[in-house]
């Protein structure tokens, strides 16, 4: 990283680089059944952007993260089981440390040619029309407590080709050690009346259901699509991605709708189904591990997410969101307040309370508080 700074410094010093970003401080409190923890972090995100030519953009950002309070967690504190098995060995403790870090989250070059746009490098990629879940996004996993938070950059090649006035062909390749191990996605996007839609195809070395153990890996081809539009004053959207292997068919689907009332009250709801998730009463330690690592987009199969938001004053908004696991009947209720205290300063407070049995996905999480301050510069 030192070398990177040494390399970047002369560029920043001698070229017209736009520097901006934000400082973020977060303090969290988690109350579990018999334990409670305080933890938090200070984060500095430094965005660098340069446009050496009219059609060329270089973007980068460096994140600095300093954790405080409890910085090492035992995964089993968040699981409704006391032990699990990894490689045939039974364990009752699995540590997840939060280490201070400084890393280059994104660095990419985007060039707009007459026939297409091309982006190379570690770049932000966000696909799909869903809010809390995006089956089409085979590159990222969202956090249900904060679905719009920025996601880690993806090392990829992306080509966006406009097809006359009809639509766009989007090709994304995330290279890996071999071509088979690389993730590929192709998306044809267009619109029909007030609806936008896409048709997607993908290939990824991905988890598949396995009879012997919960999961195995294989080279999987996917097909899917998405739509977003409106019907009778309601916004509607949906997306799906499904494996094309008839013998091992699995996939995800999400449907959502929203409406803004005349008084400004915004209401949205989403339903998500993931056939790769564990079935009811069949959750194993493996399912949790794969879900924590982001290999599966959900622990079980059926979920919902709903949110209501209202601007209490010009600069204070209140929201209430609720999401839950329909299979084990556990859910989280989380009221949140956001205050744009100054032009570039926002303050947020969130309380989340879980409901459900102690052996359920969300029921074990009990109560949590979060305060977040963000200052843009």
Partner 1 sequence: MKIRIHLNYLKSHRIFKTVQAIFYFILGINSVVLFGADLSARTILDSMTMIMQPNSSQGKMEQEIITSSNIKRVFTFNYFSEEKGKNVLIRYMEPRKVRHNAFLIKNSGEDIWVYFPRTRRVRKLASHAKKQKAQGSDFSYEDFSGSEEWKTDYQVKQRPSGERKNYLLILTPKIGAETSYDSLMIYVNKLNYYPDRMLYYQDGVHLKTLNFQDVKEIQGIPTAMSMFMENHVEESQTTMRILEMKYDVIFDDGFFTERNLKK
Is 303 in contact with 269 (CB distance < 8 Å)? Answer: no
Residue 123 as a binder of partner 1 (CB under 8 A): the answer is yes
- CA atoms of 328 and 354, how far apart (whole Å): 13
Q: How many residues bind partner 1 (CB under 8 A)?
A: 43
Q: Quick check: helix, strand or coil at residue 228?
A: strand
Question: To the nearest 5 percent, what fractions of the chain are helix, strand and coil?
Answer: 5, 60, 35
Hey, what's the torsion of the CAs at 191, 197, 202, 208, to 10 degrees? Answer: 180
Spatial CA neighbour of 122 closest among 144, 139, 147, 102: 139
The owner of tokens 């996605």 is 185
Read off φ and ψ for residue 231, nearest 5 degrees.
Answer: -140, 120
Piece of 7-15, 96-104, 326-334, 341-349 that binds partner 1 (CB under 8 A): 341-349
CB of residue 203 vs partner 1: minimum separation in angstroms?
Answer: 22
Q: By CB under 8 A, name the one of 102, 259, 284, 310 that touches partner 1.
A: 259
- CA atoms of 231 and 240, how far apart (whole Å): 20
Binding mask 166-195 for partner 1 (x = CB under 8 A): --x--------------------x----x-
Residue ranges in 268-327 that form contacts with partner 1 under rule CB under 8 A: 311, 313-315
Binding mask 61-90 for partner 1 (x = CB under 8 A): ------------------------------
Is 142 in contact with 150 (CB distance < 8 Å)? Answer: no
Q: By CB under 8 A, name the one of 16, 90, 165, 177 that touches partner 1.
A: 165
Binding mask 191-220 for partner 1 (x = CB under 8 A): ---x-x------------------------
Residue 43 as a binder of partner 1 (CB under 8 A): the answer is no
Residue ranges in 346-365 that form contacts with partner 1 under rule CB under 8 A: 346
- C-beta of 116 vs 292, nearer to partner 1: 116
- CA atoms of 170 and 122, how far apart (whole Å): 17
- CA atoms of 273 and 134, how far apart (whole Å): 11
Q: Where does this chain bind partner 1 (CB under 8 A)?
A: 20, 22, 57, 112, 117, 123-126, 129, 148, 150-151, 160, 162, 165, 168, 189, 194, 196, 228-230, 233-237, 258-260, 262, 264, 311, 313-315, 340, 343-344, 346, 376-377
């Amino acid at each position: 990283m030192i070398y990177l700074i040494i390399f970047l410094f002369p560029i920043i010093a001698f070229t017209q680089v736009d520097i901006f970003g934000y400082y973020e401080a977060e303090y969290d409190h988690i109350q579990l059944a018999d334990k409670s923890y305080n933890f938090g972090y200070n984060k500095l995100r430094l965005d660098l952007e340069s446009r050496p030519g009219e059609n060329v953009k270089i973007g980068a950002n460096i994140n600095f993260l300093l954790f405080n309070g409890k910085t090492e967690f035992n995964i089993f504190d968040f699981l409704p089981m006391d032990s699990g098995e990894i490689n045939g060995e039974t364990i009752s403790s699995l540590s997840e440390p939060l280490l201070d870090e400084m890393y280059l989250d994104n660095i990419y070059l985007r060039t707009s040619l007459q026939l297409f746009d091309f982006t190379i490098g570690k770049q932000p990629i966000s696909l799909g029309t869903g809010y809390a879940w995006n089956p089409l996004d085979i590159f990222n996993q969202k956090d249900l407590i904060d679905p719009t938070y920025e996601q880690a950059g993806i090392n990829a090649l992306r080509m966006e080709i406009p097809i006359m006035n009809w639509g766009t062909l989007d090709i994304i390749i995330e290279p890996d050690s071999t071509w088979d191990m690389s993730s590929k996605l192709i998306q044809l996007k267009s619109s029909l009346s007030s609806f936008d839609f896409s048709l997607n195809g993908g290939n990824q070395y991905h988890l598949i259901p396995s009879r012997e153990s919960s999961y195995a890996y294989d080279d999987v081809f996917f097909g899917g699509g998405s739509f977003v539009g409106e019907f009778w004053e309601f916004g509607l959207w949906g997306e799906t991605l499904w494996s094309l292997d008839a013998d091992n068919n699995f996939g995800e689907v999400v449907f959502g709708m929203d409406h803004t009332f005349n008084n400004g009250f915004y209401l949205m709801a989403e339903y998500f189904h993931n056939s790769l998730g564990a079935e009811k009463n069949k959750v194993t330690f493996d399912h949790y591990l794969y879900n924590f690592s982001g290999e599966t987009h959900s622990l079980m199969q059926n979920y919902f997410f709903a949110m209501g938001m209202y601007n209490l004053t010009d600069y204070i908004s209140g929201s209430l969101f609720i999401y839950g696991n329909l299979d084990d009947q556990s859910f989280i209720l989380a009221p949140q307040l956001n205050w744009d205290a100054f032009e570039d300063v926002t303050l947020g407070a969130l309380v989340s309370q879980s409901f459900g049995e102690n052996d359920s996905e969300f029921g074990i999480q009990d109560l949590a508080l979060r305060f977040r301050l963000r200052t843009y510069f």
